[in-house]
Amino acid sequence: MIPSSFFQERGISTLLIDVDNTLTTDNNPVPHGEVLAWLDAQRAAGLRLLALSNNRRERVAPFAARLGLEYIAGAAKPLPAKVNRALKKMGILKGEAAVIGDQLFTDILCGRLAGCTTILVEPMELEGYGFFKLKRPLEERILRRYRARRKGRGL
């Protein structure tokens, strides 16, 4: 679990957090207790919290309400347009926002395209269906290469 000091030290005021497999398991309406505690800690530290999901409003709105989060539904990640628009509307600079999610090609790419800080988290549950089957091994290869590069640089 990332401490709020991580964000504060980097001048980050706003967290855009993916829902499925980041805040909860896929399509599960009930978040884990640890997640609720983490959200409370970030909120207490003064961070602004939004759920950022490609899922439909009908799924995202009740979930966000339950957690006391603002939300962006139908986000069309990895396209950054909705994130850009939301940040502009809130008067928040891209450098002050972090995008957190479990998928490299949606969450992280979206955050990078929007110019935000990005944080890749381990998915809560590995989905064993649909196009994820294709995507996960691809992510693994890219992550392995990235980790190897970091190692090579002595980081």
Q: Which of 14, 21, 42, 54 binds Mg ion (CB under 5 A)?
A: 21
**Residue 97 or 99 having the CB closest to Mg ion:** 99
Considering the rule CB under 5 A, would residue 96 count as an interface residue with Mg ion?
Answer: no
For residue 48, give the H/E element and its range.
strand 48-52
Cα separation of 26 and 47, whole Å? Answer: 25
Question: What's CA 115's distance to the chain center, in Å?
Answer: 14
Considering the rule CB under 5 A, would residue 102 count as an interface residue with Mg ion?
Answer: yes
β-strand pairing of 14-17 with 97-101: parallel
**Residue 12 or 123 having the CB closest to Mg ion:** 123
**Residue 128 or 154 having the CB closest to Mg ion:** 128
Q: Which of 15, 20, 51, 60 binds Mg ion (CB under 5 A)?
A: 20
Considering the rule CB under 5 A, would residue 18 count as an interface residue with Mg ion?
Answer: yes
| Cβ neighbour number for residue 37 with a 10 Å cutoff | 10
Contact string (CB under 5 A) for Mg ion, positions 117-146, x = contact? ------------------------------
Residue with tokens 């009740």: 62
68's torsion region: left (phi>0), alpha (psi -120 to 50) or beta? left
- Contacts with Mg ion by CB under 5 A lie at 18, 20-21, 102
